[in-house]
Homo-oligomer: A and B are copies of this chain.
Amino acid sequence: MICVLSGGTGGAKFVDGLRQVMPAEEITLVVNTGDDLLWWGLYVSPDIDSITYVLSGMLSRERGWGVKGDTFLCLQAMGQLGEPTWFHTGDRDLAMHLLRSRLLAEGKTLSEATAVISQKLGVKARILPMSDSRVETRVDTPIGELSFEEYFVQRWYQDPVNAVRFAGASDAEPAPGVVDAITSADAVIIAPSNPITSIGPILAVPGIHNALLQAKARIAKPKIAAISPIVGNAPVAGPAGILMQAQGLPCSIAGVAHAYEDFLDLLVCDTRDARAADMLRQSGLRVHCTRTVMRTADDKAALAREVLSLISPDLLKDKTPAVPQVDSQP
C-alpha cells in the first residue's frame, strides 16, 4: 500500500500515471480540501473532484479539471440569472456537487460522502479528504484576504501575495484513516502539487506532520518521496512560485526540499535541475533526476513508474520498462 498526498492539478496528473503502473486498490490518497468552496449553495471540493475524476477515467485531460466532454449550459443560465460564473462547473460536473451536497446535508461527513461517490463511480483507490473539518486556505493580498479559488480562478493569481494561512487548521483533525494510511504505508509520495496551497493545508492539519515523522522513522529505506512541481526557477503550472516566495521559500527544488525537510527521504526533480540536485545532495538529501514534466499519458506513466521503482518496486504491475503507448484520450 502506498499513500499519496495530493492537490488537484499536478497531483491529478501524477495519479493518472500511478493508476496505469500499479493496482489502484493499493493506493490511498490524502487530498487537500483547503480550496473547498460553497458555490451556488453547493459544496464543491475541487481537488477531491479532480482526483475522483482522474481515477474514474472521467477527467478532461485537455482542461486538467472537470469532466471530459462536458457542457456549460447551467453556467450560462446562472449568468442570465445574475449569478457569478467565474468558477466553471460543467453540466455533468454538477452531478458530483449536487450529490455531495445532499449527502452532507443529510449529515454524512466529507469522508463518507467521498467514499459513497467513489464507490458509485467505480473508483478502486481510496480517496480521503485531509480532514472532515473545514480548513480554508486564505490568501492575503493588497486587495484583502481571498479564498484560494477567488485568488486562483476568479482573479487569475494576478495579485501580489503577502501571506497564506489555513483558517480552521489548528482546530481540525485528520479525517478517519489518514494517520493510519500514512504510518502504515509501504511508501508515501508527495505529488508534484503546490507545496504551499496544495500540500501546505494537509501538513497544517494537526497530527499529519507527526504521522509523516513516524512513517519516516519506521524503516530505513527511502520511504517518503516528493516530486518537485518546480523546474529551474518556475513552477510547471500555476502560482506555486509566487506563493512559495510569499512564505519565505525560494522558488526552486531547494525551496521544495525545505518545505518538506522534516520528513523527506527522496526528492525527485527534473533533469534540468541536475546542478541544483548536486547541491542538495551535499546537504544529505537523496535526490533523483528524471523527466518530471507530464504532457502525455506516457509521460505520466513513466514518471509514476520511476518514482515507484525507487521506493516501492514490488507494487509495480509490470517490472519491465514501459512501452510507449498511444494516448487515445483528449
A81 close to chain B: CB less than 8 A: yes
* A229 nearest CB across to chain B (Å): 31
| Chain B residues positioned under 8 Å from A81 (CB to CB) | 95-96, 99, 117, 120-121
Interface string of A50-74 (1 = CB under 8 A from B): 0000000000000000010011011
* A70 nearest CB across to chain B (Å): 7
State how many copies of this chain the complex holds.
2
Whose C-beta in chain B lies nearest to the C-beta of A83?
Answer: B99
Q: When A71-B71, A102-B40 are in contact, do A94 and B82 touch as well, CB less than 8 Å?
A: no
Majority DSSP secondary structure for residues of A touching B: helix
Q: Are B95 and A71 in contact (CB under 8 A)?
A: no
Q: Are B92 and A73 in contact (CB under 8 A)?
A: yes
Q: When A71-B71, A82-B120 are in contact, do A77 and B102 touch as well, CB less than 8 Å?
A: no
CA distance A67 to B83 in the complex (A): 18
A322 close to chain B: CB less than 8 A: no
Whose C-beta in chain B lies nearest to the C-beta of A42?
Answer: B98
| Chain B residues positioned under 8 Å from A67 (CB to CB) | 77
CA distance A74 to B71 in the complex (A): 9
Interface string of A217-230 (1 = CB under 8 A from B): 00000000000000
9 closest A-B pairs by beta carbon, nearest first, are: A77-B95, A41-B102, A73-B91, A77-B92, A91-B91, A78-B95, A74-B91, A74-B94, A40-B98
